[in-house]
Structure formats: C-alpha cells, structure tokens
Structure 1
Amino acid sequence: MKPIRRKLLIAAAISLMGMSVANAAGKKDDAATSRVAVFESASATQLTASQKGKPFVLLVWSLDCVYCKRNFDAIGKLRARYPDLRVVTLAMDNPEALPQVQQILKRVNLTRNAWVFGSEPQERLRYAVDPDWMGEMPRTYFYRADGQRQGVSGVISDADWDKHLRWAGIAG
C-alpha cells in the first residue's frame, strides 16, 4: 500500500472514531438532561440549586394521583405562553416505578429536571421538600429567584396560576 493512501486511511479512521465519540457524548448529554434523578432527603438543596437562582415551578405528583393530570395540562398551556418557564417535577412514587414515571413525563413533555422519590421513608422525603406538607396531592411550589417559595395543594385554577407565576417573577 502506498504511504499516501495509508495516511489517508488512517486519517479517515481517526476522523470516524472522533465523530463516533462526539455522537456518543451528545447522546450521553441528552440522556443526562432527560434522566429521572432519585430524590433522597439530602437532595432538596441540590434540586433548588439545579435551577441556578432562577424562578421555577416544582410539580409534586404521583402515578396514582388523578388530579395531577390537570396540573400537567395547565403547565403545557403555560409553557406555550411562557417558553422560558422552568419546571421541575418530583414523583412521589418509588424508584421501581421509574419506567411508568418516565412514560408519563415523556407524554407531557416534562422529561428534563425530573426526580422520583428514593428509598427513604416517604415522611422523611416529604419533610425534606417541605416540613409543613402532609402529603396532599397534587402539590405545586412556586420558587422566586431569591429562593422564597409558596406551596399550593390541589388543582390550581387558571387565575391562580397567573397569580402565583407573577409572585414568583415568572410572568408579568
């Protein structure tokens, strides 16, 4: 084989390997942004810190919560009005329910910034989210950029969504 042809083949092989590595890294990044993290009691500060001091909405939900779907529907409409709306989800289901949790989140297009309760006792995990929360569902928290928050239990009306989003500095 001629030296020039050999160099071209080596360069092509190196180029293909580089593209494969870059493609794999891109897929890894996509998977990382859409993976569901396990929430343990020590994760509460990590969850809020992940939003980098920006206002956001935390939706706490469960697979067996029939009313949670209404809040998911409302968030879908709000994201159309406010494309920069930051939403974090926290499923109260155990890690074994992860495939079902992922399926629901994919269906409502909320696969980024998603969490599922870990293996610690639910009471401890709920307390880590909010010491005053007794576990009623759905539960929604509106966070301001400065970390202040308001918690709301139950289905939220359109007018209340607007009020809470204004309070958080998300909507004008």
Structure 2
Amino acid sequence: MMRARRQRLAAAAAATVTACALVLGTAHAADRVAVFESASAARIAASQQGKPFVLVVWSLDCVYCKRNFDALGKLRVKHPGLRVVTLATDSAEAMPQVQQLLERVRLTRNAWVFGHEPQERLRYAVDPDWMGEMPRTYFYRADGDRRGVSGVISEADWARHLRWAGIAG
C-alpha cells in the first residue's frame, strides 16, 4: 500500500514537471526567431488577429536599421501596446546573431529571419513592389490595409504613420 502511494506521488510529480516544462517551453518558443518562407507572410498578418501592427524588415549589416530600432524602443515606452513584428533578411544560418541583436533591443517576440528560398521570392512574398531597400517598415491597419516605407523614419513620420494605422491618436 505504501509502495503504491509512493508510485502515485512520483507519477503526479513527473506529470507536474512535464506540464511546467511544456508551459515554459511554449513561452520560451514565443521568443525564438522563426524561419520565414514565402507562405509565412499571410501567417504573420493573420497572427495579429485584426489588430494594427508594425512589420520592421531589417538586416544585421544595415546601419540604418539600428536607428529604426532605437526609435521603436522610444515608441514602445509611449505606446506599450504597440505590436511589432520583425523580419531579418539575413539567412537562417545567422539566427544566433539575429536573436542576440533582437534581445538587446527587446524585440524577440514575433521575430522572423529569411529561410532557404531565394531572396527574391521571399521579398516578393512580403511585398511584390519592394526591391530590397532597407530599412523597410510596414504599417498595418486592423482591416489589413498596409503602407510600406523605405529608409529611416523621422519621429514626426513615425507619429503620422502610427496615426494612419490606428495605433496612436
């Protein structure tokens, strides 16, 4: 009887540890960089559940992209609910460096990096009119309408684009 009780306790403890590991693993997985393939563009838009958001396309070797990250950091202080998705155009092999930079700028949620399809196909999946210039920022409205902007965005332009997307008043 004592042995059966110990076995039940051990089984319950193991189940609890497994459940905790799954929960922690899921939370941690949300902060991992996902691999972007051409079908991912529609998944990203759908994942935002009809809410306005900003998609920031960047690269590790893009100096100007880092300026947009600085501006985003300031904006997230003013607008804590600002939904940001990042997409690095670097190869999936650069994922550790991409993850490290995103951790430094606190943008690890909803982060993506280009996968193994040809760059042209992946860029086309993001926007058929985009020629690859960076940084590239897309402002999505709740209705799915979007506006793409190339280059570093000034503080006044951030405010204007966020208002257009319905993110800031």
Q: Normalization by structure 1: what TM-score?
A: 0.94
Work out the CA distance in 1 between the residues paired with 2:143 and 2:34. 24
Work out the CA distance in 1 between the residues paired with 2:36 and 2:8. 46
Partner of 2:72: 75
Q: How many residues align?
A: 169
Partner of 1:52: 49
Please give the root-mean-square deviation of Cα atoms over the aligned residues, in Å.
1.1
- Give 1:129-168 correspondences, 5 Å limit: 129-168=126-165
User: 3-state DSSP class of the match of 2:63?
Assistant: coil
For 1:59, give the aligned amino acid.
Answer: V
Residue 162 of structure 1, CA deviation:
0.6
For 1:115, give the aligned amino acid.
Answer: W
Work out the CA distance in 2 between the residues paired with 1:163 and 1:129. 22
Residue 33 of structure 1, CA deviation:
0.7
Question: What stretches of structure 2 of length at least 5 have no aligned partner?
Answer: none
- Give 1:103-122 correspondences, 5 Å limit: 103-122=100-119
**1:100 aligned onto 2:105:** no
Work out the CA distance in 1 between the residues paired with 2:26 and 2:119. 30
- How many percent identity over aligned positions? 70
Question: What stretches of structure 1 of length at least 5 have no aligned partner?
Answer: none
**Largest Rg, 1 or 2:** 1
Of residues 30, 41, 56 in structure 1, which corresponds to 2:27?
Answer: 30
Work out the CA distance in 2 between the residues paired with 1:40 and 1:17. 37
